[in-house]
């Protein structure tokens, strides 16, 4: 995860299990890859949700993250399915300072992670790290939500996406909701709320908070171009549909200018 984004690592996979979006993004990306073996750098690798199937498909993958607890889960999952460290290397590091001294066919940031870089300086530094690690003919893949103007009109939203999940690692069923509060120009403060009952029937609560920005298509294009990248194609969803005003996603495949 980017350094501003802190999730309860043990909840992450359980929380997003069954999400249709996260069942579609990696297969859609893999459909863009050539049949040859590719080298892939995934920034904000998290628990290896995308990196592990990419490695299983035969690609050489390096995953970088700032959260050691997320990387520990990714390593356990990688080892459990028999993927070697050579096939999927997991690296602790800050995307904004990253310099691995090597380049890749693809650099990827999945599932809104780029939006947790909330300032122009951070966005520039993240994209400069992307360019630094791209081969001359390499490609950059970034996947973001397209802003929902209806949601953005509300200064505060509470009780979003209520659901409960079972977390096997903790033998715990957790109720989850999300709150979003507007705190500045194109910046939202996001809070994930968790509640569960312990073995003695006492209610326990926990939360994690972070800030996230949002970008419109033209802003994304300008941001990429100022950092030496050009959009080759942009889609509006994982079905390969073109980007429109009603599209839920902005999925961009980019090359160096």
Q: pTM value?
A: 0.93
132 touches 229 (CB < 8 A): no
Alpha-carbon dihedral 112, 34, 230, 110, rounded to 10 degrees: 10
Distance of CA 182 to CAs 154, 187, 212, Å? 8, 6, 10
For the stretch 112-145, pLDDT in tens is 999 999 999 999 999 999 999 999 999 999 999 9
- Kind and range of the H or E element at 166? strand 156-167
For the stretch 178-217, pLDDT in tens is 999 999 889 999 999 999 999 999 999 999 999 999 999 9
């Amino acid at each position: 995860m980017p350094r501003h984004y802190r999730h309860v690592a043990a909840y992450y996979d359980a929380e997003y299990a069954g999400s249709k979006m996260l069942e579609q993004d990696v297969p859609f990306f893999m459909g863009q890859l050539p049949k040859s073996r590719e080298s892939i750098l995934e920034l904000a690798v998290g628990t290896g949700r995308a990196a592990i199937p990419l490695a299983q498909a035969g690609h050489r993958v390096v995953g970088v993250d700032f959260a050691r607890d997320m990387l520990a889960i990714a390593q356990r999952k990688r080892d459990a399915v028999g993927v070697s460290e050579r096939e999927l290397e997991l690296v602790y590091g800050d995307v904004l300072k990253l310099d691995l001294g090597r380049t890749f066919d693809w650099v990827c940031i999945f599932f809104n992670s780029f939006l947790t870089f909330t300032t122009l300086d951070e966005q520039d530094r993240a994209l400069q790290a992307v360019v630094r690690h791209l081969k001359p003919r390499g490609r950059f893949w970034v996947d973001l939500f397209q802003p929902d103007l209806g949601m953005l009109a509300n200064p505060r939203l509470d009780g979003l996406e209520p659901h409960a999940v079972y977390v096997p690692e903790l033998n715990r069923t957790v109720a989850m909701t999300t709150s979003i509060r507007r705190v500045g120009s194109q910046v939202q403060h996001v809070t994930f709320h968790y509640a569960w009952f312990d073995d003695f029937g006492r209610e326990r609560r926990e939360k994690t908070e972070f800030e996230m920005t949002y970008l419109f298509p033209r802003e994304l294009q300008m941001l990429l171009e100022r950092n030496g990248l050009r959009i080759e194609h942009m889609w509006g969803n994982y079905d390969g549909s073109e980007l429109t005003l009603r599209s839920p996603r902005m999925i961009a495949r980019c090359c160096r200018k």
